[in-house]
Structure 1
Amino acid sequence: MSDLLLAMSVFHFLRPLWLLLVPVIVGLWWLTRRRRSGRNTLSQGIAPHLQAAMEVGRNQAHRIRPIDGVALTLLLLAAAAAGPTWSRQPNPLVAQSAPVAVVLKVTKSMDAIDIAPSRLERGKQKIRDFLDLRAGGRSGLVAYAGSAHVVVPMTEDASIILPYLEGLSPDVMPKEGADFAQALSRAQALIEDEGGGALLLVADGLDPADVSAVETAPMPVAVLSMLPEGTRDRGLDALGNRVIAVQPDGSDIRRLDRTLNASYRQSLLENSDDPWLDRGPLLAWPAALLLLLWFRRGWTMHWGAAVFALMLVAPGQARADGLADWFWTPDQQGQRAYDRKDYTRASELFGDPLWRGWAMYRAGRYAEAVQVLDRVDTAQAAMIQGLSNIRNRAYRDGVRSFETALTRDPDYPGAAENLEIAKQIVAYVEAAQEAQDTQDQTELRADDVTYDNEENKGQELQVDLPQEDAAVGLQSAEQWMNSVDTETGDFLKSRFLLEATQAAAEGEQ
């Protein structure tokens, strides 16, 4: 479903009673036009052709008149007051782009070179383009052949996925075959942990027996076909419009992104927890343009001029912060800055404390975000406070914030899980502090270690070590990452083999 069809399917009015003004406005307009056009100024004793030459404006009866502009303006204002809407207000804690689990088929058939440089390498290129297009969106990677494996769990950082994507080849897969059902199960588990999302399958074929699994999957599924033009596959053909053929340009990736996001947004619209977004203010723009007609010479109505004058002299709050304040509210300006990912600027513009706190959190101003969100008494605000405290290493405050979120809404998504993780962090920190009294401190290799130890277990300790000691016998972070990048295939081969062995052992028990 396209974005347009999706919007049309959920379009409605928040305050439909205002639409009762529509027949009243149309009726007044019709009566005024009828009275104007029905005037007969012909007089007896004057020839019709002479009377027509003497009259002014007789031939303008069917042209646009001031009453037409007034009626149209009033209709727009009535529609705006009715509150048209076709989307919900964005939830700052929910990504507006779909979390996507990318499933890549890694079999010997994908090594075919009928698509240059090969089906597998072109598929990797398309996945990289897809991740670049979805910058900031949460993505995960699953690879499958005779067995399926989660290569990288869901993450917002595409750079984490890329080195592992490069290391995938049929040689690293421990078992030959094409077990898509197992891959679907792995991907579904990733998406369920995200609370919803979509699946992208990159493959050169699908077993017809797996078609029903795709069609009944609980998440939207799109397929990027890695087959050359003219090559057919029974399984892919059976999926119909779910399949998009690989293209030399980026049109296939853009289409996939639109398809998956539209399906995801449809599921977000079904979430009754988020309020609908009032789109009525959008109709103020065409109404304002119609008001410009009143500056046209001869375009006047006595009562219309009075209404327009009242609009101009209506008292309001004076602002002189810039031209943008004439057209957008502070929250609208903040939203524009937020959409540009200028979170610092957004935090300065937002008037709504919830959005301002969320923008501060995204900008890394965690302590300020906690203070601002103290003004909001909702589970959502407490959740953001908890995340801010954890990022700010105030772990016990994070525990309290997550507990507050659960108090306000026991079913708030993710609050219970985050509370458990925060408690584990606090327990670990306190255990580490207790161990400081008995363990040899020379084994620590941090430059500056500071713990959130509110219970004062053990001694408060800050360790400063010279840089040269920390480097003895250890690779630098850059060296370690480089070694991982160059040996990713070997690492994946060992990991996949271990996972497949463990799965087989569990199946025999």
Structure 2
Amino acid sequence: MEIDLAAFHFLRPLWLLLVLLGIALPFAWSRARQSALRSAPIAPHLLKHLLMTPSDLHRLRPIHLLAALLILGGVAAAGPTWQQDRPEFLENRAPLILAVDLSSSMDANDVPPSRLEAVKHKLHDLIERRAGAKTGLIAYAGTAHLVLPATQDPQLLDTFLQALSAGMIDAPGKDVLGVIEQAKRLLAAEESPGTLLMLTDGADTGQLEQVSESLKGSKLQVLLLAVGQEDVGALRDAEGMPRLDASGRAVLGSFDADALKQLASAADAPLGSLTLDDDDLEWVELHAQRHLQAASGDEQEIHWKDAGYWLCWPLLLIAFFCVRRGWSVNWLPGLLLACGLSLPGTSAQAGALADAFFTPDQQGRWAFEHGHYPQAAEHFHDPYWKGLAAYRAADYQAALVSFARVDSAQGYFYLGNSYAHLLKYPAAIAAYRQALKLQPQFPEAEANLALAIALQKDFEEQQEVAPQMEPDKIEFDKDPGKGKEGQMDAQKAASDALWLQNLTTSPAKFLQQKFRIQSARQQGAGEQP
């Protein structure tokens, strides 16, 4: 633990008066003792024979321990600090919305293996850095579509992210205005300031005035992360022919820097670029942090970490000796107590000592906040937190047992997630519907319900089209124990493998169908007078 001496100060300096009292107390006691001896009504030459004076006049006395208590207690109560109390990633308190460009130009391979794949890899790293944070996902080309509302489930978010591909959205173009409107609606639901991170290689300059008007008075901050290289031109294959995407359009490798600069100016958005290291992620974190501070007023008040609680352990040890008789006899339990309290990770595994000071739920919460999910699941008595710890530990069977006892929207939501991880989609669908019944405005449950229905449909389709192969011959042993071992479910294993292979592409099919339906609805609404 490094201490920045330049920032070292005390939060409550008046408590340091106890330090002065603790320093003065032994001197005052010694002087008072000597004064009492001088004023005794016994003659000095007789008094020395009546007193029992210890051989070591400087040995530890109770007054010395009391002085130590006052000194350490005064320092602890004064609140020594040298670090600001800021979360590691401040924008975790507010949603971050990711907008990925799926236009055909994102298939360019000037950023290997392609611009879109590089974006997906970069966002995967960002999602891992924002573990437990609310993050939403928007995909756009000529139209903008909400893929997933702000969620705290990084696995679900990454599943949908990796399913994105260029050509999913039929309409050509770059509808930045639609992305901003989608993001504003998400922030209105969250009732919190947030940041929109757009990853693209260009912009539609015809929307600049509308973009500027849409962002006026909004708490939405826009960040632009440019992807690609400038002046690459049309991409060609090994034979020199123009490279075409799935729709037959030529894949352009040009990076429209001028359009992005104009968009950044219109949206008052910082403009960065995709990098091979984590500099771009740190750039995103920095701007999101500053925006959150400015929007919530965190800059007006700086909070500091109070490090005085570290002195509680020596204070406890000193207090232990102060209340016991026979100083030399009680050194051993004191040392054992100090060693027990100084063991690493004792709050989660301190056994009887922890049980004496903390409830099981408090021990479970400490283990949960420090990422020790299996230990947290063992300690928790509260069924919701016990289930959540088991879910984070990937023990979905144990999570089912706990969440089945929780009659709340969140409980049914995680119950559905646990069923989905165990590939029990009908039960997951029923749990998500119950969660929505208890809490109609539950975007995460709606998204997971749609995904579970799509996966269940794919599973049923695979079961229908799976080839039915009858065995050539089946023989049963009349006597038990005399048969030969053999595999009779090879076809079932092949069918399961085929279904699992299809399962990985299900989110992509689901999103593509969803985008087409939404585009059709938008076109129909636009054609109405």
Q: TM-score, normalised by structure 2?
A: 0.50
* 1:478 maps to which of 500, 507, 520: 500
1:73 and 2:101 equivalent? Answer: no
Aligned to 1:452: none
Taking the aligned partners of 1:371 and 1:336, their CA distance within structure 2 comes to 24
Q: Give the CA deviation at 1:496.
A: 4.0
* 1:309 maps to which of 318, 321, 330: 321
* 2:273 maps to which of 238, 245, 248: 245
> Is contact 1:386–1:398 with CA below 8 Å preserved after alignment?
yes
Taking the aligned partners of 1:353 and 1:481, their CA distance within structure 2 comes to 32
> Is contact 1:224–1:246 with CA below 8 Å preserved after alignment?
yes
Q: Give the CA deviation at 1:180.
A: 1.0
Taking the aligned partners of 2:436 and 2:106, their CA distance within structure 1 comes to 47
Aligned to 1:176: 172
SS in structure 1 at match of 2:197: strand
Query: Which residues of structure 2 form unaligned runs of 5+?
Result: 1-6, 29-63, 231-254, 420-426, 450-462, 467-487
Taking the aligned partners of 1:308 and 1:482, their CA distance within structure 2 comes to 61
- After superposition, residues 54-73 of structure 1 pair within 5 angstroms as 73=72
Query: Which residues of structure 1 form unaligned runs of 5+?
Result: 1-7, 14-18, 36-64, 89-94, 271-276, 293-304, 374-380, 404-413, 426-441, 446-465
Aligned to 1:51: none
SS in structure 1 at match of 2:276: coil
* 2:284 maps to which of 250, 253, 256: 256
Distance 1:394 1:481, change over 3 A: closer
Aligned to 2:247: none
Q: Give the CA deviation at 1:504.
A: 1.6
- After superposition, residues 325-474 of structure 1 pair within 5 angstroms as 325=350, 329=358, 333-339=363-369, 341-350=371-380, 355-356=385-386, 358-360=388-390, 362=392, 363-364=395-396, 365-366=398-399, 369=402, 382-383=408-409, 385-387=411-413, 415=439, 417=441
Distance 1:397 1:87, change over 3 A: same
Taking the aligned partners of 2:522 and 2:312, their CA distance within structure 1 comes to 66
SS in structure 2 at match of 1:149: strand
Taking the aligned partners of 1:124 and 1:115, their CA distance within structure 2 comes to 12
- After superposition, residues 7-26 of structure 1 pair within 5 angstroms as 22=15, 24-25=17-18
Distance 1:24 1:96, change over 3 A: same
Taking the aligned partners of 1:474 and 1:310, their CA distance within structure 2 comes to 70
Taking the aligned partners of 1:396 and 1:332, their CA distance within structure 2 comes to 33
Taking the aligned partners of 1:107 and 1:371, their CA distance within structure 2 comes to 44
Aligned to 1:284: 309
Give the AA of the match of 2:197. Answer: L
Structure with greater Cα Rg: 2
- CA offsets 1:448-501 (integer angstroms, 9 cap, x no match): xxxxxxxxxxxxxxxxxx98999999994124336658xx5x986675455333
Q: Give the CA deviation at 1:186.
A: 2.4
1:144 and 2:144 equivalent? Answer: no
Aligned to 1:131: 127
> Is contact 2:384–2:411 with CA below 8 Å preserved after alignment?
no
- After superposition, residues 185-200 of structure 1 pair within 5 angstroms as 185-190=181-186, 198-200=195-197
Aligned to 2:100: 104
1:203 and 2:228 equivalent? Answer: no
How many pairs were matched up?
373
Q: Give the CA deviation at 1:182.
A: 0.8
Aligned to 2:518: 499
> Is contact 1:202–1:223 with CA below 8 Å preserved after alignment?
yes
Q: Give the CA deviation at 1:158.
A: 4.0
> Is contact 2:169–2:512 with CA below 8 Å preserved after alignment?
yes
> Is contact 2:201–2:228 with CA below 8 Å preserved after alignment?
yes
- CA offsets 1:243-289 (integer angstroms, 9 cap, x no match): 4432221231244256547867999999xxxxxx9976x52214646
Aligned to 1:434: none
Give the AA of the match of 1:226. Answer: V
Q: Give the CA deviation at 1:176.
A: 3.3
Q: TM-score, normalised by structure 1?
A: 0.52
Higher-RCO chain (CA-CA 8 Å, sequence separation at least 6): 1
Distance 1:255 1:339, change over 3 A: farther
Identity %: 23
